Amino acid sequence: MSDTGLSQAQQKMRDGGVAETAIDVFSHFYRLLESGETGVIPESDVDPLVDVDKQSELEVPEQVGRDALAKTAIIKLNGGLGTSMGMDKAKSLLTVRGDETFLDIIVGQVRHARETSGARLPLVFMNSFRTRDDTLAALEKHADVAVEGVPLDFLQNREPKLRADDLTPVTWEADPSLEWCPPGHGDLYTALQTSGVLTALLEAGFEYAHVSNSDNLGASPDAAVAGWFAQTGAPFGAEVAVRTAADRKGGHQVVRKSDGRIVLRETAQTLDEDAAAAADISKHKYFNTNNLWFDLKALATELERTGGVLQLPLIKNSKTVDPSDPSSTPVIQIESAMGAAIEVFEGARVLEVDRSRFLPVKTTNDLLVLRSDVYELGEDYRLTAVVEAPYVDLDTDHYKTFGNFDARFAQGAPSLVGATALRVEGDWTFEAGVTAVGEARLTDPGEPATVPSGATISADGLDVS
């Protein structure tokens, strides 16, 4: 059935207007999948990554950094809808500080870097079909952000979800849009080429690209980091950070024994029997922040050499066609990771960066901390933590979706600068001026309740005196 499945998938992609190169990439991964390839990286095949440059030790002359930034383009991955928070629009349109959205802050960071360095610093978004219109509409108020000769955005590709039983494209009449999925953020390189943006950047005189997720406001343009990458002469670079207990289950960097290349090992590429070793943060010290740097000419050369099909590892993602319905048809999504390209380029380098360059918002827990007084937004539009961020755990029954979360914090986030944790059980609505201290905790009252203005939450619960 696999030959039939591939033919059907290819035709569906052509009918859907998908670029031929993207179809070639999908076909490559499909053949890997049908051959039994899983993309797993056994612990026995890798060594820990230990020898890395450190941001804290960089000695980059100011002019070198300016010159590097002048040749750099900023690319933001903006295809996510924030579905994990119950959203149906780009996550980057969420407000973070007052009326400022992720998008506004990203633009502010780029604008400030332009003003202080003199660099053109184009800002380009990789959107999906679902995020493009809203994002471009939101950018209309930032008329100065566009750079002549460089598009504001390009579209990521899409591919069919495959039935797990026979690898044919799934059919889902209840919502045909659910028959499609993105190919993972490894599609960045294919989409850059097929959209013409890679050529446009090169023709406009740019040499480097800095790529990061739009929900990571820590990844602001940095001349010293740009200068580091330029000085290495490497074709590819990745910003990594030291793993903490909270990062035990995430992807991490390792070194492949067979050729000494740095490899990104995602959770889905880890064998069950290797889970403990992969989670050992004293052994595997670094995780990938998804803040990447690459030489545009080197990428163009490699894409030309491979016919547009970079040899990225396969990620086999098993799901159901309707993610909200576990009884719906089991499917396989063929994916690849953007950071996995580090193994494609000989001489790739990594840089250990401060944790402040990694501030992702994956849940409403993260969003509450970012909105709180734990962070300050500077004139350079960088978010700076004034204290170590506390651990936040909001009851998923009442706070998981953005709509529910926003309704319960309509008068603002509580003060968290004096808290080491905030755990909320049950349905609580917070009024203005609430303060959390120490190991703050609210237990479930069994019915909707209110935390009144001026109240303090501590390990002993709610104090309204």
Per DSSP, 392 falls in state E
- The letter for the amino acid at 18 is V
411 is in an annotated binding site: no
Phi, psi angle pair for 138, to nearest 5°: -70, -30
How crowded is residue 336: how many other Cβ atoms within 10 Å of its Cβ? 26
* Rounded distance between C-alpha atoms, residue 414 and residue 441, angstroms: 13
Residue 162 contacts residue 113 (beta carbons within 8 Å): no
186 is in an annotated binding site: no
- The C-alpha angle 15, 20, 25, rounded to 5 degrees, equals 115
Q: Which residue has the tokens 């303060």?
A: 435
* Distances from the Cα of 146 to the Cα of 111, 143, 151, angstroms: 11, 7, 8
Q: Which residues pair with 465 in a beta bridge?
A: none
* Rounded distance between C-alpha atoms, residue 169 and residue 6, angstroms: 8
Tell me the HSE value of 361 on the side-chain side, using a 13 A CA sphere.
Answer: 30
161 is in an annotated binding site: no
* Distances from the Cα of 198 to the Cα of 40, 122, 150, 183, 299, angstroms: 31, 13, 9, 19, 9
SS3 content of the chain, % helix, strand, coil (to 5): 35, 25, 40
91 is in an annotated binding site: yes
Task: Identify which of 422, 419, 421, 413 has the alpha carbon closest to the alpha carbon of residue 442.
Answer: 422
Residue 118 contacts residue 62 (beta carbons within 8 Å): no
215 is in an annotated binding site: yes
Containing 351, the helix (H) or strand (E) segment is strand 349-352
| Tokens encoding 360 | 């992702």
Residue 238 contacts residue 211 (beta carbons within 8 Å): no
Task: Identify which of 336, 249, 316 has the alpha carbon closest to the alpha carbon of residue 284.
Answer: 249
Q: Which residues pair with 422 in a beta bridge?
A: 392, 440
* Rounded distance between C-alpha atoms, residue 437 and residue 134, angstroms: 39
- 3-state secondary structure labels for all residues of 27-42: HHHHHHHHCCCCCCCC
* Rounded distance between C-alpha atoms, residue 101 and residue 107, angstroms: 10
CA 46 remoteness from chain centre: 25
257 is in an annotated binding site: no
Q: What is the dihedral of CA 136, 219, 278, 317, to 10 degrees?
A: 10
Which residues make Cβ contacts (< 8 Å) with residue 195, sequence separation at least 6? 151, 154, 155
Known binding residues for UTP: 91, 156, 184, 215, 362
What residues are designated binding site?
91, 156, 184-185, 215, 362
Q: Return binding residues for substrate.
A: 185
